[in-house]
Amino acid sequence: MDTLVMDKTIAQKINDLLGRMSLDQKIGQMTQTERLAITPKEVKEYHIGSVLSGGGSVPGDNQPADWIKMNDEYWAASMEEDEQHLAIPIIYGVDAIHGHNNVLGATIFPHNIGLGAANDPELIERIAKATAREILSTGVEWTFAPTLAVARNNHWGRTYESYAESPEIVQSYAGRFVKGLQNSLGRDSVVACVKHWVGDGGTSYGVDQGDTEISDDEMSEIHISPYYPALAEGVLTVMVSFNSWNGKKCHGNKYLLTEVLKEELEFEGFIISDWDGIDYIDEDYSETVARGINAGIDMFMVSEKWREFIAHAKNHVLSGRVSMERIDDAVKRILYVKLMYGLFDRPRPAERYWSKNPDFGTSHNRAIAREAVRKSLVLLKNENDILPLSKNARIIVAGKNADNRGYQCGGFTIAWQGITDDNESADSDNKGGPIIMDYNSSSAQIQKGSIVGGTSIWEGIKAVAPNATLNLNGTAADPNLHDVGIVVIGETPYAEGMGDIRDGDYQIEETSEKIEGFLKVLAPYGHSTVLNELHPEDLRTIQHITDKGIPAIVVLVSGRTLIIKKELELSSAFVAAWLPGSEGQGIADVLFGDYDFQGKLSFTWQKHRDENYIKGDSPYEPLFPYGYGLSYNG
Ligand code: BGC
């Protein structure tokens, strides 16, 4: 690892540890597995370097104390020293991608698409700092965030994890988010992980894990450029992307991982694979392990079959297929991160500062999230200045997304695919709840229930407008009783490939033919980006109100821009609220004029289903261009 420039004492510590480690210990450090697949005892026995929680995989009753206890046990096992085992503290990783979103009672911030519309780097750093403290309050030290994807096609189910379709905003956020999380690597820091390296947002047709068919120049200007500020800020880990680049899987791509990231860009930390990401390189698992290690991956996220991974890796070293230098490079990098973060000097998780002085789901953090909600809202239409509304207006609040904190939080909240609130009212005529599943049924741990804390959009309205009433399907609309309707419509939660929109199978067939290796395909969210085809019940709800001559303010909860022709025509005002998270009150703050709208589209709003205009295209004839957004004061 000659490219690494580091503190002399850290270098000495690394060399000292490395000199005392057996091959088993080294390969163990390179292994990360899911909490459900490993016990603390096995962590010690196999010298495991890291454990993670997949989306929705949570200990005990999913309270901060349960998390602290769990990580404390893994940590203690990793630190027991004897002749077979050298004490090296484990690092525990989670997807805290919009707040510490797996944990009950956490502050859930808007998903990245909303934060992109806010275009406020200073706010981003505060969000990252608050998120870091919530993570630390559960005894955890590493998050797989921020996502630096530049999503180029709204059919992609992960569009909401992207700040913008164009790299500028992503660049301006990347360093600030890393800075807020890693916080000078002091007491208040967690280890950040930028992902997914690289080109995740550029796949053809927006197919999740698909093929990004672009030139070198485009790759570097659009998808690699957001990583520069994160690297400059000293981000300690980078996650590899599931996608391929011109047919070649990133997970087996030595050029992208070693030559570009480690050598050219002088990345000093470690590279982690995505969830079983090497599995799709080749049919033969042994082959896949060799190619992943030789491409430059340092730590392997292996959800379950970590024993096989370890056995293959060891065989490859013994047979010479994988060099000892490569293993040492990987282990040095892992030790570098653990030492830089001060993990060896931190007490056990239960004894750490924030475990004892939790800052979790607090009003301070929720206030930051509420501010983020306000700033993320984009006003697309405001006929005759119907907004802001008077707090005394007689309002009928309708729509399946009006009183469901699960829906407004979206995917990666409590469960991988998100949740639907338990208290969802029975008179809602939605098409059914979100699909909740794990990648692999044997490791599935489904979380049901509600978002704890925060307010639904309806609760936020009710808190300031005493004459507002809730009627989810809008059939109670009555011009004698209601001056105006607020109809909150939109998508139900999804994550990753299960959020994809595909109108047929040809996108998958084409992609599979082009890539070397395999494509993991999940059932898509729908077959059309036309909102009225995805959620016809939403249009009916609006009509129940407008048919009676009552004007409708439409608030759209969604993880992407959708074709909204009919809904927009019927509305008097239209607000894109993205996936605002737990603090629904932020929406009432703006609808009633306590604050002005300031969000601007960071994604182009398409007019027709078959279009995919992106900022900078020529011609460029979308419904609303990138940067669009109305406000009360001009
Ligand atoms: C996702 C990553 C995530 C990982 C761990 C993967 O499926 O692509 O973004 O960090 O799972 O949960």
| Span from the CA of 301 to the centroid of ligand 1 (angstroms) | 9
The amino acid at 291: R
Q: Is the CB of 54 under 6 A from ligand 1?
A: yes
Tell me: do 218 and 273 sit in the same domain: yes
How many angstroms does the Cα of residue 192 sit away from the middle of ligand 1?
Answer: 14
* DSSP symbol at 498: G
Is any atom of ligand 1 closer than 6 Å to the C-beta of 55? yes
| Domain shared by 281 and 397, yes or no | no
Q: In the prediction, which pLDDT does 69 show? A: 98
The pLDDT score that the predictor gives to residue 421 is 82
* Active-site hit among 496, 500, 567, 583: 496
408: three-class secondary structure by DSSP: helix
Pair 331, 271: CB distance under 8 Å: no
Q: How far apart are CA 244 and CA 211, in angstroms?
A: 5
252 by Cβ neighbours in 10 Å (0-12 / 13-18 / 19+) ranks as buried
- Residue 462 near residue 470 (C-beta atoms within 8 A): yes
440: its two tokens: 């692999």
CATH classification at residue 541: 3.40.50.1700
Is the CB of 195 inside a 6 Å radius of any atom of ligand 1?
Answer: yes
Residue 607 maps to a domain: no
β-bridge partners, 485:
396, 552
Q: Write the burial class of residue 184 (CB in 10 Å: 0-12 exposed, 13-18 middle, 19+ buried).
A: exposed
Q: How many CA atoms lie within 13 A of 89 on its CB side?
A: 23
Is 174 within the bounds of a domain? yes
Cα–Cα separations (whole angstroms), residue 429 to 97, 157, 194, 205, 526: 31, 24, 40, 31, 18
Alpha helices in 465-535 (DSSP H): 506-514, 531-534
Query: Which atom from ligand 1 is nearest to the alpha carbon of 144?
Result: 10
Q: What is the domain-level CATH number for residue 262?
A: 3.20.20.300
CA 146 from centre of chain: 7
User: Looking at ligand 1, which atom is closest to the CA of residue 93?
Assistant: 5
What is the rounded CA–CA span in Å between residue 95 and residue 632? 37
Q: How far is the CA of 559 from the centre of ligand 1 (A)?
A: 17
Instruction: Kindly give the distance from the C-alpha atom of residue 474 to the centroid of ligand 1, in angstroms, as a whole number.
Output: 38
User: Hey, which residues does 486 pair with through a beta bridge?
Assistant: 397, 553
- Pocket test of ligand 1: the residue of 92, 143, 144 to mutate, having most ligand atoms within 8 Å of its CB, is 144
| Domain containing residue 388 | 378-495+529-591
Are 298 and 418 part of one and the same domain? no
Dist CA 25 CA 338 (whole Å): 15
Tell me how far apart the alpha carbons of residues 492 and 500 are, in angstroms, rounded to a whole number: 13
> 128: CA distance to ligand 1 center in Å?
19
Residue 431 within a domain: yes
The answer to whether the Cα torsion of 525, 526, 528, 532 is positive or negative is: negative
* Atom 4 in ligand 1: residue holding the nearest Cα: 275
Same structural domain for residues 112 and 167?
yes
Are 482 and 570 found together in one domain? yes
| Separation CA 402–CA 430 (nearest Å) | 12
> Across the strands, what pairs with 164?
150
With respect to residue 631, please indicate whether it lies within any of the assigned structural domains: no
Phi, psi of 63 (to 5 degrees): -100, 155
Quote the crossing angle between the two packed helices 167-182 and 121-136, to the nearest 10°: 40
Q: Is the CB of 275 under 6 A from ligand 1?
A: yes
- 288 and 400 inside one domain: no
To test the pocket of ligand 1, the residue of 275, 301, 303 to mutate (highest count of ligand atoms within 8 Å of its CB) is 275
User: Is the C-beta atom of 95 inside 6 A of ligand 1?
Assistant: yes
CA distance 302 to 299: 9
Residue 589's H or E segment, with its range, is: helix 585-591
- The answer to the question of residue 18 being in a domain is yes
Residues 332 and 224 occupy one common structural domain: yes
Residue 268 lies in a domain: yes
Cα separation, 19 vs 113, whole angstroms:
46
Q: State the closest ligand 1 atom to the C-alpha of 193, by its place in the atom list counted from 1.
A: 10
Q: Which atom of ligand 1 is nearest to the CA of 439?
A: 7
Angle 455-458-462 (CA atoms, 0-180°, nearest 5)?
95
Atom of ligand 1 nearest to the CA of 161: 9
CA angle 311, 337, 158 (to 5 degrees): 80
Q: Kindly state the tokens that stand for 497.
A: 């490939």
Phi and psi of 373, rounded to 5°? -60, -50
Neighbours of 522 (CB within 10 A): 18
Residues paired with residue 563 on neighbouring β-strands, in sequence order: 530
Contact 457, 402 (CB under 8 A): yes
Residues 346 and 401 in one domain: no
pTM for the structure as a whole: 0.96
Burial code (b: 16+ CB inside 10 Å, e: under 16) for 52-84 equals bbbbbbbbeebbbebbbbbbbbbbbbbbeeeee
**Is 129 inside a domain boundary?**
yes
Task: Locate 197 and state its tokens.
Answer: 């390296």
Domain shared by 448 and 307, yes or no: no
- Alpha-carbon gap, residue 48 to 78, rounded angstroms: 8
Question: What are the mean pLDDT values of the chain's consecutive 10-residue runs (634 residues total)?
Answer: 64 97 98 98 98 96 97 98 97 98 98 99 98 98 98 98 98 98 97 98 98 98 98 98 98 98 98 98 97 98 98 98 98 98 98 98 98 99 98 98 97 94 43 33 43 96 98 98 98 97 96 96 96 97 98 98 98 99 98 98 96 97 98 90
Question: 143 and 85 in one domain?
Answer: yes
Instruction: Please state whether the peptide bond connecting residue 619 to the residue before it is cis, i.e. omega within 30 degrees of 0.
Output: yes
Read out DSSP for 258-295?
IIIIIIIS---SEEE--TTGGGGT-SSHHHHHHHHHHH
Q: Does 274 participate in catalysis according to the annotation?
A: yes
402 and 256 both lie in a single domain: no
Protein residue whose Cα sits closest to atom 7 of ligand 1? 275
Q: For residues 430 and 399, what is the distance between their CA atoms, to the nearest angstrom?
A: 9
Confirm or reject: Cβ of 73 under 6 Å from ligand 1.
Answer: no
Residue 362 CA to residue 279 CA, distance in Å, equals: 40
Whole-angstrom CA distances from 391 to 14, 92, 268, 340, 577 are: 63, 47, 55, 53, 20
Q: How far, in Å, from the CA of 274 to the mean position of ligand 1?
A: 6
Q: To 5 degrees, how large is the angle CA 219–CA 52–CA 9?
A: 80
Q: Which of 356, 388, 422 is the last residue of a domain?
A: 356
Q: How far is the CA of 93 from the centre of ligand 1 (A)?
A: 11
* CA dihedral for 163, 168, 169, 174, sign (positive or negative): positive
Q: In this structure, are 334 and 220 located in the same domain?
A: yes
Going by CA atoms, what residue is nearest to atom 6 of ligand 1? 275
Closest CA to 111 of 152, 155, 161: 161
Amino acid identity, residue 252? Answer: G
With respect to residue 51, please indicate whether it lies within any of the assigned structural domains: yes
* Distant-in-sequence, close-in-space partners of 633: CB < 8 Å, separation ≥ 6: 596
Bridge partners, residue 413, by sequence: 415
How many structural domains compose the chain? 2
- Tell the residue nearest (CA) to atom 12 of ligand 1: 54
From 200, 243, 274, the mutation candidate for ligand 1 (largest count of ligand atoms within 8 A of CB) is: 274
Catalytic residue among 161, 165, 274, 403: 274
**Atom 8 of ligand 1 has which residue's CA nearest to it?**
274
Ligand 1 midpoint to CA 272 (Å): 11
Q: Give yes or no for residue 613 CB within 6 A of ligand 1.
A: no
pLDDT tens per residue, range 46-77: 999 999 999 999 999 999 999 999 999 999 99
Locus of tokens 């995740």: 200
Structure tokens of 409? 């939080």
Ligand 1 contacts CB of residue 56 (under 6 A): no
Cβ neighbors of 137 (< 8 A, separation 6 or more) are 64, 100, 354, 355, 358, 359, 360
Beta bridge partners of 270: 237
Catalytic residue at 496?
Answer: yes
- Cβ 586 vs Cβ 374: under 8 Å: yes
The dihedral formed by the CA atoms of 606, 611, 614 and 620, expressed in degrees to the nearest 10: -90
